[in-house]
Amino acid sequence: MIKNGYLTIIILLFCGNALLAQAPAWGGGADQTDLSFGFSFSYVSNYFKIDKKPNWRDPFFDPGVNRFITDSLRSISSKNATGFGVGFITRYRLTDHIEVRGNPSLVFADRSITYIYPKSTDNVTKQIQSTTVDFPLEVKIKSDRIQDFRAYILGGVKYSLAIGSKKNADTGLDPLNKLVKNAGGFGSYEAGIGCDIYFEFFKLSPEIKMSNSFGNVLVPENHPYSSPISSLGLHTFTFSLIFE
């Protein structure tokens, strides 16, 4: 019995050493070359930071009918609206811990602005349908690899270009049916954190990223839903799964 106990201990020690000595996963060779490629799937949530004009509460006067066509505003707000994106990754290694990354992506994410009036029946939510092609350029700073894991932070800038939008989609509509329009292209700065998880044939990187637009993304127009607003800033939260 004692001999069997010693034998069991020896076997367990041997197996433990074998597991600890197991080589880290190859990760599909994603980190073995200076240049590599991949793809991404993203969940997107965004909302507007709204800067109002000093007289934003005033009723809107329509010179076409020579009278006020809205009541005074009580509030203007923007709730989170969600969407998704798909992208293509190009990674270039500068050092073992620093790399430059491009991730052109097609993003489908609507936005909304809600206008509250004294009568709830007058309340309006304007949907801003948006499909953009995003062109981010980011610097990624990575920790040392520990077995099949490493953490990283990243920061950079991106340019968003709207596609499929019609500038004159509301031509001929009365002011109460006008749309709130965003700039066809604008820049943003972004920062995020993530981790690289190595599997045998690929590398998976869950990532969280925040971005804020530069300047004003509002196209100013003279109608009840654009006139009260001085500027709009777009805030975006993105959760991505990146495969390389």
208/199 Cα distance (integer angstroms): 20
The pTM (predicted TM-score) of the whole model is: 0.83
**Is residue 139 one of the residues assigned to a domain?**
yes
**Is residue 16 one of the residues assigned to a domain?**
no
**Is residue 137 one of the residues assigned to a domain?**
yes
The pLDDT, as a whole number, for residue 32 is 81
The pLDDT, as a whole number, for residue 201 is 87
CATH number of domain containing 139 = 2.40.160.20
**Degrees to nearest 5, angle at CA 243 with 239 and 244:** 140
The pLDDT, as a whole number, for residue 52 is 96
The pLDDT, as a whole number, for residue 10 is 41
Q: How many domains does the chain have?
A: 1
Which structural domain range is residue 138 located in?
Answer: 24-243
The pLDDT, as a whole number, for residue 20 is 41
Which residues lie closer than 8 Å to 103 by C-beta, 6 or more apart?
Answer: 40, 87, 88, 89, 90, 134, 136, 138, 242
The pLDDT, as a whole number, for residue 19 is 39
The pLDDT, as a whole number, for residue 18 is 38
Grouped pLDDT means (10 residues each) for the chain, 244 residues: 44 40 66 89 96 96 91 95 95 94 94 95 91 96 93 97 78 87 94 94 94 94 95 97 94
